[in-house]
Amino acid sequence: MNWKNITLQQFQQISIINADEELDEADKLLFIISILYDKTDYQLGRISTTKLKRLINSVNNIFTSEINIKQKNRFGIYKLNYDIASIRFGQYVELSYFIQQDSTQKAHNILASIAAPLFFKNDSKNHSKISNYFLKQPITNVLGSIKTLLDALQSFNENYKGLFDSGIVDDNVDSIHPFNKYYGWIYSATLIKEHEGITLEQAFNLPVRQALNALAYLKSKGLYEEEQLKKQYANN
C-alpha cells in the first residue's frame, strides 16, 4: 500500500477523520485502517495482534512518506481542459462555486467541471456521473491535476481583477454577503442574458471571455451612470 493505491474518496474520508477533534489518535488509526484495507469493525476485532501491527506500520509508513503528485491530462476516457479561456461560462461558474468550498472534499466536482469524454465537449448534464468517476482515481493524480487547474484559473482571473467586487458585503471585508455566495453567479448570468438578449441557458453556454467581458462592460456602465447621477445631484 502506498499513496498511488489511495483513491480520492478514501483520502476525503481520511481527511474528515483526522479533522474530528472528538476522536483520539488510536481510534483515528483504526478508522483509517478500516478505510484503506476495507475492513469492518468486526473484522478488525478478529485479526491477530501481529497482523494488526503490520497494518498499523503500513499506515504509518504511508503517512510519513512524501506524496508525489502528478498532473494528468487524461483519466481513462475523460480528458481535462486546463485552458480556462476556452471553457464555457457555465463551466467557469461551476469551478468558482466548488473552489470556494473545500478543494479536497470537492476535488471530484472541480475536475468534472473541466472534463469531457474523448472526442466530445464538456456537458454539465453529465457532471454527476463524471465526478463520481474521479472519486475512484488515485489521489496522487487528482491532487496534481487540481494544482495545475487552480494555477491556470488564478492566472486567468488576473485579467478580471475586481470584476465581482459588487460592494454587497458586511462589515468584515473578507466575508461574502450570503446573496453573493449563493446567488451571485445566477444574478451575473441574468445580467448577461438581458444584455445579450438571450436565454439563461444560452448565457451559461457563452464562451467565458465573452461572458466576463459583458459583465465588465455592465459594471463599468453602472459606475459611469452612478457618477453622472452624483454630478447631476451636485449641480442641482
* Neighbouring C-alpha atoms within 13 Å toward the C-beta of 97: 14
CA 160 to chain centre: 19
Among 165, 185, 172, which residue's Cα sits nearest to residue 98? 185
Give me the percent of the chain exceeding a pLDDT of 90: 71
Mean pLDDT of 17-26: 92
Q: Provide the grid cell at 3.
A: 499513496
Q: pTM, whole model, 2 decimals?
A: 0.86
Residue 41 has pLDDT above 90, yes or no: no
Structure confidence at residue 100 (pLDDT): 85
Give 204-223 pLDDT, tens digit per residue: 999 999 999 999 999 999 88
pLDDT higher than 70, residue 170: no
Predicted confidence (pLDDT) per residue in 85-129, tens digit: 999 999 999 998 899 888 899 999 999 999 999 999 999 999 999
What value, to the nearest 5°, has the Cα angle with vertex 188 and ends 182 and 192?
155
Integer Cα distance of 188 and 234 in angstroms: 31
- pLDDT score at 183: 61
Q: Given this model, what pLDDT does residue 127 score?
A: 96
Domain boundaries, the chain: 3-63, 74-160, 178-235
Across residues 125-135, what is the average pLDDT? 96
pLDDT confidence of residue 15:
95
Q: What is the pLDDT of residue 169?
A: 32
